[in-house]
């Protein structure tokens, strides 16, 4: 694995693709060998739960053998990635407008969207995402809460058919924008993982009109998008509720995940 990421978090995207490929092929364990000199690469693997289990001695030198078990939760949310610990977690539906959705979540692109908009930039490549919003209730988010990402309508047809659940993530952290001591701290936190430009972030900092700042991991894209109509008519979700940010029951989540053909092996109860 040799990547010239140019500061774009491309290494994280490769890690995600490795996990996606393993899950697709029902592989429960991944291993990699790496020379000790590659400290940055080792740190990347370790961050996402690879553990050194042995050394491999060859004529080219000694390599470390690192293993990732895709069946076992580890001691942190990120080291456990892409697994989702569902025990005693709140589950929410979170809406994203189309102009932000695909830039932030490239694996959840819709079939009628142009793949050219997915650029080699940090917020698209990263496992981690930062988003700002003003929706009521977001202050309730806690680390480990589950997010079902809901792409709102593009207004090319009724929302009943055009608004769709596309993917799932796990909350890493919630912060009020007022918790940042300075603009520099705020910008440093958001820049690597946010779809917003520096100019937009600067404006948000000045106006404080998007007070909710939260970071989440991008765990899985649905193989099949689940429409608003399907969720209302088949899963009993309330059409009159506020679908910007909405609490889901475990049964509703299970039905959406099944309809979206999500790999259920990443769910740990």
pLDDT digits (tens, 9 = 90+) for 40-92: 899 999 999 999 999 999 888 999 999 999 999 999 999 999 999 999 999 99
Q: What CA–CA distance (Å, rounded) separates 180 from 252?
A: 35
> Which of 46, 72, 98 is the last residue before a domain boundary?
72
Q: What CA–CA distance (Å, rounded) separates 251 from 210?
A: 31
Q: Which residue has the higher pLDDT, 221 or 8?
A: 221
> Is residue 94 scored above 90 in pLDDT?
yes
pLDDT-based confidence at residue 117 (cuts at 50, 70, 90): very low
121 and 231 within one domain: yes
Taking the model in full, what pTM does it have? 0.87
Residue 112 pLDDT: 45
Q: In terms of residue numbers, what domain contains 39?
A: 10-72
What average pLDDT does the chain have? 87
89 and 66 within one domain: no
**Contacts for 67-74: CB closer than 8 Å, 24+ residues apart:** 67/29, 67/30, 67/31, 68/29, 68/30, 68/31, 69/28, 69/29, 70/19, 70/22, 70/23, 70/27, 70/28, 70/29, 70/30, 70/265, 71/28, 71/265, 73/268, 74/49
Residue 7 pLDDT: 52
> Is residue 259 scored above 90 in pLDDT?
yes
205 and 101 within one domain: yes
239 within a domain of the structure (yes/no): yes
88 and 68 within one domain: no
- How many domains in the chain? 2
> Is residue 127 scored above 80 in pLDDT?
yes
3 within a domain of the structure (yes/no): no
């Amino acid at each position: 694995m040799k990547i010239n990421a140019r500061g774009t978090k491309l290494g994280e995207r490769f890690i995600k693709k490795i996990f996606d490929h393993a899950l697709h092929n029902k592989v429960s364990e991944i291993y990699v060998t790496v020379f000790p000199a590659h400290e940055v690469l080792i740190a990347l693997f370790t961050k996402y739960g690879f553990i050194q289990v042995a050394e491999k001695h060859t004529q080219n030198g000694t390599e470390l053998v690192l293993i990732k078990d895709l069946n076992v939760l580890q001691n942190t949310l990120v080291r456990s990635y892409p697994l989702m610990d569902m025990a005693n977690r709140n589950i929410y539906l979170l809406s994203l407008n189309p102009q932000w959705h695909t830039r932030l979540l490239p694996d959840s692109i819709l079939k009628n969207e142009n793949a050219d908009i997915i650029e080699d930039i940090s917020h698209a490549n990263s496992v981690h995402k930062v988003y700002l919003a003003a929706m009521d209730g977001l202050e309730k988010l806690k680390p480990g809460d589950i997010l079902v990402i809901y792409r709102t309508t593009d207004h090319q047809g009724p929302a009943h058919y055009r608004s769709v659940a596309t993917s799932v993530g796990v909350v890493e952290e919630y912060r009020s924008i007022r918790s940042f001591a300075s603009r520099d701290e705020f910008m440093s936190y958001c820049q690597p993982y946010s779809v917003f430009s520096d100019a937009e972030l600067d404006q948000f900092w000045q106006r404080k009109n998007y007070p909710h700042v939260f970071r989440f991991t991008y765990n899985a894209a649905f193989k099949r998008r689940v429409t608003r109509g399907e969720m209302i008519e088949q899963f009993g979700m309330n059409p009159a509720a506020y679908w910007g940010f909405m609490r889901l029951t475990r049964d509703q989540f299970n039905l959406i995940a099944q309809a979206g053909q999500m790999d259920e092996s990443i769910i740990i109860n």
